[in-house]
Structure 1
Amino acid sequence: MSDWIAANYDVLRGVHILAIIAWMAGLLYLPRLFAYHTGAAPGSELDVTFQTMEGKLLRIIMNPAMAVAWILGLTLLWHRYNLAGAAVFAQPWLIAKLAGVIFVTGWHHYLALARKAFARGENKKSQKFWRATNELPFLAAIVMVIAVTTEFGSR
């Protein structure tokens, strides 16, 4: 299996990046939908439309993209571990990336819970909150991309 991963490493990494792009698009768009949804009266036609959009975004794009990103990320990490041993986990760049992954995964789940609250007509957050938090995943992405592309602390 490790030989197959090594032979296809660049393809796996490319698909991993594509999954992250799709996931990130959803993480950036869903809070924006929530900001607009905040103004819709519960049970109104607009409320139902936003619920449909939010639900499909999560089920069709975000959840599968997150799953693929995690599966391929762990596969690529396993390959690096096989090459470098446990020392790879002490690299500052990898620690920063893993912290970012945990953050965006937690944010994803927070957004999924918020979508359920909207569906129940129980949103407690303001439009201002959703607009202010909209960019959090992108800030995490900046840190992760810089960490991975520079591999800071490994030289």
Structure 2
Amino acid sequence: MIDALNWALAMTYAWLKAGHIIFVIFWIAGLFMLPRFYVYHQEAPEGSDEEKRWIERERKLRRIILTPAIGLVWLFGLALAYVTSAWAHGWFQGKLVLVLALSAYQGWLVGYGKRLAAGGPRIDGRTLRLMNEIPGIAVIFIVTLVVVGRAYS
């Protein structure tokens, strides 16, 4: 009976981890793309068909990739934390803070995109290009915390 339970727990962990990694990849890819879309959007003439196409691309990226991915990242991640009892570990707490920050970053990006589509004030393209690096820097810290930090706990 214990062997069957251990096998079930191991399989649950493996599937949760696979799902988490898959949707993290989708989420981070979307976070890399969205600021770049905004740069191209802002370079299009206001009111043009090109601008309208960028607005639609941004909306689809948010609706089809980013929103489902962030939800599934959180779902699989919290399930993994529960299954592994990761809550008390420092590496997990650090990861959680960074994932919360990335989630807030996505929220800000979505809000900016909606304001941009409505003709609101624009951020210069250089700033958006620099902001494009935020997910990559966060991933470096998150992966280091999980892989290296977990090895020491």
Alignment match, 1:84:
none
2:131 corresponds to 1:127: no
- Whether the aligned pair in 2 keeps the contact of 1:92 and 1:153 (CA below 8 Å) is no
**Deviation at 1:149?**
0.9
**Deviation at 1:35?**
1.2
Aligned length: 148
SS at match of 1:122: coil
**Deviation at 1:31?**
0.4
Alignment match, 1:99:
97
Q: Is the deviation greater in 145-154 or in 117-126?
A: 145-154
- Whether the aligned pair in 2 keeps the contact of 1:114 and 1:123 (CA below 8 Å) is no
Moved over 4 A (4+): 2-6
In structure 1, C-alpha distance between the alignment counterparts of 2:15 and 2:76, rounded to whole Å: 10
- TM-superposition CA deviations, 1:59-84 (whole Å, max 9, x none): 00011011110001010111122xxx
- Whether the aligned pair in 1 keeps the contact of 2:81 and 2:87 (CA below 8 Å) is no
In structure 2, C-alpha distance between the alignment counterparts of 1:5 and 1:112, rounded to whole Å: 37
Q: Which runs of 5+ in 2 are unaligned?
A: none
- Whether the aligned pair in 2 keeps the contact of 1:6 and 1:79 (CA below 8 Å) is no
Q: Which runs of 5+ in 1 are unaligned?
A: 82-87
Same amino acid, percent of matched pairs: 32
Alignment match, 1:22:
26
- Whether the aligned pair in 2 keeps the contact of 1:94 and 1:147 (CA below 8 Å) is yes
Q: Would the alpha carbon gap of residues 70 and 5 (structure 1) be closer, same or farther in structure 2, given more than 3 Å must change?
A: farther
